[in-house]
């Protein structure tokens, strides 16, 4: 997935800096699965994939242009006038040379899609049948519907009193655990999916809690944040190459030449290894910075997932299910 985003080298996002072009605009190349999970599982939003009506030559030119942009582009990101929609349109124009793109102008992603559809550049008919679009991979539903469906299974098979999936997830992990032994195979599978949702919810809450503590503690000179803060600052300082690989090579311009690839790969491996080490250090520190209640809930949530896995395996075995060696 090609995604223009503001590169923010700090935990604190400034709206003013975003409006005034302080943040660089960079073209990120992200795994499709990561983007789908980000939208559907974390943000609980649906996602659509709309094919563009481009010739083979236009596609190839666009790929080359995208590679050039990802390699070294460092634009100015403005939330209003030069955001992801504007940058994407500029990439399509420069990458394909299609004359139908020249007169288009939009500052909103939805508006850009509507304009391209009206010009015959996007094929939105693939979304006409929601079920077929889902089957063919043009639509990715929010997991909210799946969570609600799993909660309905619980309501049918267990005498729970909660009336919505949200109230179920808001319960303490230990309270949810009390129902595990009463659950049959289908209810246990539903519980597992909902417990995964509960863990994501706790991780988001922990992330927000850590961010607020870090920002306020850093301003107050809290010494307990020193080690985690140092690791985080090094991660931010060393992760820029992920959105602008040109940082790995000194000198020259444009895409790397054949003789530069070996040096580039070695530099990338070293930087990635360093980031993994820093990430491990940070993971070890952040748990110590969580409030005891949040840490206890996270650990209880993780224990629930282990318990449900064991319970499901036991039920599967008892029902005569196939066991792999």
Residue 143: is its pLDDT beyond 70? yes
Res 33: pLDDT: 92
Longest Cα–Cα distance in the chain: 68
Least confident of 2-6, 71-75, 174-178, 266-270: 266-270
Least confident of 24-28, 56-60, 130-134, 247-251: 247-251
Res 195: pLDDT: 95
> Using one digit for the tens of pLDDT, what is the confidence trace for 280-309?
766 767 777 778 898 899 999 999 999 999
- Report residue 296: phi and psi, to 5°: -65, -40
| Residue 133 confidence class, pLDDT cut points 50, 70, 90 | very high
| Residue 127 confidence class, pLDDT cut points 50, 70, 90 | very high
- Partners of 4 in the beta sheet? 27
Pairing of strands 47-48, 2-6: unpaired
Mean pLDDT (the chain, rounded): 84
- Contact present, 36 and 141 (Cβ < 8 Å): no
- Closest alpha carbon to 261 in 269, 64, 73: 269
* ∠ CA 68-71-75, rounded to 5°: 85
Residue 209: is its pLDDT beyond 60? yes
* Helix 185-220 / helix 261-289 crossing angle, nearest 10 deg: 90
Least confident of 56-65, 110-119, 237-246: 237-246
How many angstroms separate the CA atoms of 298 and 281, rounded? 19
SS3 per residue for the chain? CEEEEECCCCCCCCHHHHHCCCCEEEEEECCHHHHHHHHHHHCCCCEECCCECCCHHHHHHHHHHHHHHHHHCCEECECCCECHHHHHHHHHHHHHCCHHHCCCCCCCHHHHHHHHHHCCCECHHHHCCHHHHHHHCCEECCHHHHHHHHHHHHHHHCCCCCCCHHHHHHCCHHHHHCCHHHCCHHHHHHHHHHHHHHHHHHHHHHHHHHHHHHHHHHHHCCHHHHHHHHHHHHHHHHCHHHCCHHHHCCCCCCCCCHHHHHHHHHHHHHHHHHHHHHHHHHHHHHHHHCCHHHHHHHHHHHHHHHHHHHHHHHHHHHCCCCCCC
Res 155: pLDDT: 94
Q: At 29, list the tokens.
A: 């190349």
> CA gyration radius for the chain?
24
Q: Which residues neighbour 270 within 8 Å (Cβ) at sequence distance 6 or greater?
A: none
Least confident of 80-94, 124-138, 242-256, 288-302: 242-256
Res 169: pLDDT: 92
3 or 270, greater pLDDT: 3
């Amino acid at each position: 997935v090609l995604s223009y985003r503001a590169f923010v080298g700090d935990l604190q996002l400034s709206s003013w800096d975003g409006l005034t072009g302080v943040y660089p605009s960079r073209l990120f190349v992200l795994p499709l699965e990561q983007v789908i999970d980000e939208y559907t599982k974390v943000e609980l939003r649906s996602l659509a994939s709309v094919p563009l009506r481009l010739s083979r030559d236009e596609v190839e030119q666009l790929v080359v242009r995208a590679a050039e942009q990802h390699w070294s582009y460092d634009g100015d990101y403005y939330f209003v006038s030069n955001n992801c929609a504007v940058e994407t349109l500029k990439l399509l124009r420069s990458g394909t040379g299609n004359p139908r793109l020249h007169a288009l102008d939009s500052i909103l992603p939805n508006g850009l899609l509507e304009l391209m559809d009206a010009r015959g550049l996007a094929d939105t008919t693939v979304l006409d049948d929601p079920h077929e679009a889902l089957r063919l991979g043009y639509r990715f539903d929010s997991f909210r519907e799946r969570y609600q469906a799993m909660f309905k299974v619980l309501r049918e098979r267990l005498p729970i009193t909660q009336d919505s999936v949200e109230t179920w997830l808001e319960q303490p992990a230990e309270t949810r655990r009390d129902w595990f032994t009463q659950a049959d195979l289908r209810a246990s599978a539903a519980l597992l999916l909902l417990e995964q949702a509960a863990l994501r919810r706790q991780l988001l809450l922990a992330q927000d809690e850590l961010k607020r503590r870090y920002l306020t503690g850093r301003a107050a000179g809290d010494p307990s944040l020193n080690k985690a803060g140092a690791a985080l600052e090094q991660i931010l300082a060393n992760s820029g190459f992920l959105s602008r690989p040109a940082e790995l090579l000194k000198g020259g311009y444009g895409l790397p030449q054949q003789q530069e690839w070996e040096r580039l790969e070695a530099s990338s491996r070293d930087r990635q290894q360093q980031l993994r080490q820093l990430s491990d250090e940070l993971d070890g520190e952040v748990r110590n910075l969580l409030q005891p209640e949040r840490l206890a809930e996270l650990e209880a949530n993780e224990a629930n997932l282990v318990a449900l896995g064991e319970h499901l395996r036991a039920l599967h075995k008892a029902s005569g299910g196939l066991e792999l060696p």
